[in-house]
Amino acid sequence: MVQKIKVLRIITRLSVGGSSIHVILLTAHLDKTKFQSILVKGSEGQNEGNLKDLVNRKKINPVFIPELRRKLSLRDDLLSFWKLYRLISREKPHIVHTHSAKAGTLGRLAARLAGVPFIVHTYHGHLFRGYFSTAVTKLIVLVERFLSLLSTKIIAVTQSQKEELLQYKITPSHKLVTIPLGLELDSFLKLQKERGRLRAELGLSSEDLLIGSIARLVPVKGHSFLLRAAKRVVSSFPNAKFLIVGDGELREKLENLASRLGIKKNVIFCGFRRDLPKIYADLDIVALTSLNEGLPVAVIEAMTSQTPVIAYEVGGVKDLIEPNVNGILLPCGEIDGLANSIIYLLKNPKERRKLGQKGQEKVYPKLHYKRLVQDFEKFYSELMKNRFPRTSNLRF
């Protein structure tokens, strides 16, 4: 009987986002006759949501290390490291695959100490821009360069992210592999039955124009830029409604900002939603105002649903959107341009339809989870054969 490849996958937390979806889908769908997957997770932060529903639906039982958290804590981090080391030593995986910064640090150190043959880390975001001060970023770069020495392979989810890792000299090119995300997208393809349900729930009419933002309410997502642009949009389109889908630490501040801007009646805070096809079915436009992104799930879902996207040109967004072909790209932080672009699309439904159709052609089926699973089955198998995996540099 052929021995299964055992992969122990570590992520800091299963909060709402692409990296969490990524590890859950891989854990659930790798060929179980060839692979054995163990998923290890830490604690989610307060008000950032989690993907417990998806974990339950996929019948996954993650190993939970409560001390593994995003925030720095000497006690918790040392205890997490010890628990990871003991778990890895007991399970003896062929591959330890880490995701997110904290898990990538503690997990790779523990895996090396435990003598794991192959250590892999995936970067899901552009860590070196938009998050930290210059001094902290320099320190992170040094740490990541050291951790690269412990890694067999480093995975980027976009070509631009790969280029950034090379620019910051995080790792040599021969260690780098590009494997984009894969998502469950089929539910976003045919939304006719969903249309009108969200408007009915929110008491909105068919005449209202809906602009949506689907993101956690945290600083890096840049919601304040959207609200300031919304003030201008509302002056031209009083029937424009801005739906803020998501929750997080900034909710109260953003609600207060909407009130100060005089657009409280035009902004609806929807909280976290699981019924995203219902959301996209009624949106006229999706706006992403993030200061940084890896490969944004909301943009992929919107494009699959043929909802036109306006976004800041940051991180992996430009790997998805071709300006004025399948969406609109703007310089980061641009408020007037954002308002003008929203107004332009609201005035031009034909342009919205064209961008939406081209958007779907860009991402589907290239970013479907079945492609992701196939890529990683090949990647892990070639890794075990001590080859350089040839799944790299997949473009989309």
Residue 53 has pLDDT above 80, yes or no: yes
153 close to 120: Cβ distance less than 8 angstroms: yes
In degrees and rounded to multiples of 5, residue 294 shows phi and psi of -85, -100
Residue 355 has pLDDT above 90, yes or no: yes
393 or 267: which leads in pLDDT: 267
The pLDDT assigned to 125 comes to: 80
Name the nearest CA neighbour of 289 among 240, 230, 249: 230
In degrees and rounded to multiples of 5, residue 213 shows phi and psi of -125, 125
| Model pTM score | 0.92
CA distance 126 to 140: 12
390 or 25: which leads in pLDDT: 25
* Least confidently predicted of 131-145, 159-173, 280-294: 131-145
66 or 132: which leads in pLDDT: 66
Mean pLDDT, the chain, whole residue set: 94
Domains of the chain and CATH, by start = 5-184+368-384 (3.40.50.2000), 186-363 (3.40.50.2000)
Residue 388 has pLDDT above 80, yes or no: no
The pLDDT assigned to 49 comes to: 80
Residue 27 has pLDDT above 90, yes or no: yes
* Alpha carbons within 13 A on the beta-carbon side of 313: 12
Residue 263 has pLDDT above 60, yes or no: yes
pLDDT one-digit tens code per residue, 213-261: 999 999 999 999 999 999 999 999 999 999 999 999 999 999 999 999 9
Interval 142-155 mean pLDDT: 96
The pLDDT assigned to 391 comes to: 47
The pLDDT assigned to 392 comes to: 44
Work out whether strand 209-214 and strand 240-245 pair parallel, antiparallel, or are unpaired. Answer: parallel
Residue 128 has pLDDT above 80, yes or no: no
119 close to 152: Cβ distance less than 8 angstroms: yes
